[in-house]
Amino acid sequence: MTETSRLTAVRASYDAVAADYARLLGTALAEGPLDRAMLAAFAEYVRGEEGGGGRAVADLGCGPGRVTAHLDALGVRTFGVDLSPAMVAVARRTYPGLRFEVGSMTALDVADGVLGGVLAWYSTVHTPPSELPPVFAEFARVLAPGGYALVAFEAGDEQIRLEHAYGHPVDLDVYGTPPDRIAALLAGAGLAEVARLVREPDGYERSAQGLLLARKA
């Protein structure tokens, strides 16, 4: 599958599930205490002077906007970007006071070096690991010096095929990536690891989950 066809399949799949995805997940952040702790640390870092002292943060692959709204509640000026127009429409209806845009994390409509942070909350899992370097290079491009990236991902090495989700047919692959490889790929883009968390699967999760915080020099 080419990158273009893969993005088309991802967009169509999330357009199909958007309404039911949002309905089933609700608006409350359901993530556990470890995930919330990493989000809180990320928020504190980007609010600090070293992280840009209040520069905007992009929630890339924001879906229906739950995590965007959570960061906003933590005092971070956050906007969401998603490949799926249907997801963006749901986010705009649910959080009318926040900004959401349709876009791709591979080609962001953001100037160089202006963001204090980039969040990719499981939004890179549909990208083969071999295709992550340009994604992380785009993160580095838009981050200001000292800005932070937080990436949440499946911390394994298997590929799962999804053909049905949230009551709809979909065309999605989910890629697990070992934390050391994520760290190396981020470092290759100029984003040095600050901290990582790897936790055991919880609830419906099938594999260990990873969260890695990195900083642009």
Buried b (16+ CB within 10 A) or exposed e, 155-175: bbeeeeeeeeebeeebbbbbb
pLDDT tens digits along 125-180: 999 999 999 999 999 999 999 999 999 999 989 898 878 877 888 888 999 999 99
**pLDDT higher than 50, residue 1:** no
Mean pLDDT confidence for 67-96: 96
The DSSP code sequence of 19-88 is HHHHHHH-SS----HHHHHHHHHHHHHHHSTTTTSS--EEEET-TTSHHHHHHHHTT--EEEEES-HHHH
d(CA 113, CA 3): 26
In this structure, are residues 81 and 65 in contact, taking their beta carbons and an 8 Å threshold? no
Four-residue CA torsion sign, 216, 122, 160, 131: negative
pLDDT in tens, 34-74: 999 999 999 999 998 665 667 999 999 999 999 999 999 99
82 against 31, higher pLDDT: 82
Q: What's the pTM value of the predicted model, to 2 decimals?
A: 0.93
